[in-house]
């Protein structure tokens, strides 16, 4: 039976990429989405080109099928944006398109939240479908001869969907017996992917922290027409959200970054936005402390290693 001390010693020797590999799961998010733009036919492009004395084959042109500024359509796209923001907010980047890494312990929560977004999307699409005849009639008027009823499905229900799954990013076990050499090569490739994922996570945290610090410092310094710059609550609340996300997703791969995050947290801890609006002395104090953090961040961004991107052979 292993002791807590033995477990601590074992864990202390794991690398950040190994911790990432053993504690995270791949989560893929995708959308099935009705296209609202369509290219003109060759005949239509030739007709349009004639008005400019041009050749149709050198002209790129399309038409917009629906008014995407309609409130019902915007409600649908808002849910898509919220879903993507949530997915990115609870995950770390991974060097495969459409895949990010979430904590294994958070899979059920993630699954439930995506299911909720899916229900909200279905409701929003149903509402959009109630306005579909209105939107098609408006398109008929706006497009004139370019309007083609065959461009439009009978209903919008089922035309928008959120999909997610948890793909395996580990080498398949059957390769171990079929080809040990190929299996070993796949193991090395996957390990390289996780090494890169660690660097991607570091870079994402560094850049986000730098952006937050720069924004806060810019708001605290100087004035406009002799008055302090407008200071919104989000300058502080966005930092608080960052600290929570960093604590939940940090793989402890960079001590300098950890120290900088701790320093920023100590600077703004207990500071209320209204206090910064009311006290010039506090604004100056926080600004001075943030300047030191900015210097450290700038150096860290300069010194970070360039990513060695591993690409699959084609």
The proportion of the chain whose per-residue pLDDT surpasses 70, expressed as a percent, equals: 90
The arithmetic mean of pLDDT across residues 96-100, rounded, is: 93
Alpha-carbon torsion angle 109, 115, 116, 118, nearest 10: 150
- Of 1-10, 119-128, 134-143, 192-201, the one with minimum mean pLDDT is 1-10
Structure tokens at 208: 């986000």
54 vs 68: CA distance, rounded Å = 30
247 vs 241: CA distance, rounded Å = 10
What pLDDT shows up at residue 295?
85
Long-range CB contacts for residues 117-123, cutoff 8 Å, separation at least 24: 117/79, 117/82, 117/83, 117/86, 117/162, 118/161, 118/162, 120/79, 121/76, 121/79, 121/80, 121/83, 121/160, 121/161, 121/162
What pLDDT shows up at residue 225?
65
For residue 35, pLDDT beyond 70: yes
CA distances from 140 to 73, 145, 146 (A): 17, 8, 8
Q: What is the mean pLDDT of the chain?
A: 87
What pLDDT shows up at residue 224?
66
Kind and range of the H or E run holding 31 = strand 24-32
- Of 65-69, 116-120, 218-222, 254-258, the one with minimum mean pLDDT is 218-222
220 vs 235: CA distance, rounded Å = 10
Give tens-digit pLDDT for 100-113: 999 999 999 999 99
290 vs 294: CA distance, rounded Å = 6
For residue 6, pLDDT beyond 50: no
Residues in the chain: 314
Band of pLDDT at residue 296, cut at 50, 70 and 90? confident
What pLDDT shows up at residue 28?
97
What pLDDT shows up at residue 226?
64
Band of pLDDT at residue 44, cut at 50, 70 and 90? confident
For residue 298, pLDDT beyond 60: yes
Question: Using only C-alpha atoms, what is the Rg of the chain?
Answer: 26
The arithmetic mean of pLDDT across residues 271-277, rounded, is: 88
Give tens-digit pLDDT for 222-268: 666 667 778 889 999 999 999 999 999 998 888 999 999 999 999 99
Predicted TM-score (pTM) of the model is 0.83
For residue 194, pLDDT beyond 80: yes
For residue 153, pLDDT beyond 90: yes
């Amino acid at each position: 039976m292993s002791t807590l001390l033995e477990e601590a010693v074992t864990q202390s020797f794991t690398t950040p990429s190994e911790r990432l590999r053993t504690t995270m799961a791949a989560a893929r998010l995708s959308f099935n989405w009705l296209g609202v733009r369509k290219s003109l036919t060759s005949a239509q492009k030739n007709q349009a080109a004639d008005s400019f004395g041009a050749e149709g084959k050198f002209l790129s042109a399309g038409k917009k099928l629906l008014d995407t500024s309609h409130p019902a359509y915007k409600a649908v796209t808002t849910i898509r944006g919220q879903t993507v923001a949530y997915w990115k907010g609870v995950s770390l980047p991974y060097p495969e398109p459409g895949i990010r890494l979430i904590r294994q312990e958070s899979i059920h929560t993630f699954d439930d939240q995506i299911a909720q977004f899916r229900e909200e999307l279905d409701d929003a699409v149903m509402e959009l479908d109630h306005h579909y005849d209105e939107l098609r009639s408006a398109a008929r008027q706006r497009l004139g001869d370019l309007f083609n009823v065959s461009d439009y499905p009978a209903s919008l229900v089922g035309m928008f969907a959120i999909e997610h799954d948890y793909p395996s990013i580990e080498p398949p076990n059957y390769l171990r017996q079929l080809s040990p050499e190929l299996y070993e090569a796949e193991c090395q490739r996957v390990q390289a992917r996780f090494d890169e994922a660690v660097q991607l996570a570091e870079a994402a945290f560094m850049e986000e922290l730098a952006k937050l610090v720069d924004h806060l410092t810019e708001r605290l310094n100087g004035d406009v027409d002799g008055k302090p710059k407008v200071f919104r609550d989000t300058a502080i609340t966005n930092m608080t959200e960052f600290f929570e996300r960093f604590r939940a997703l940090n793989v402890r791969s960079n001590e300098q970054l950890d120290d900088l995050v701790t320093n920023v947290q100590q600077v703004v801890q207990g500071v209320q936005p209204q206090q910064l609006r009311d006290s010039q002395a506090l604004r100056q104090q926080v600004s001075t402390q943030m300047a030191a953090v900015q210097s450290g961040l700038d150096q860290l961004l300069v010194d970070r290693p360039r990513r060695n991107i591993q690409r699959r052979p084609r």
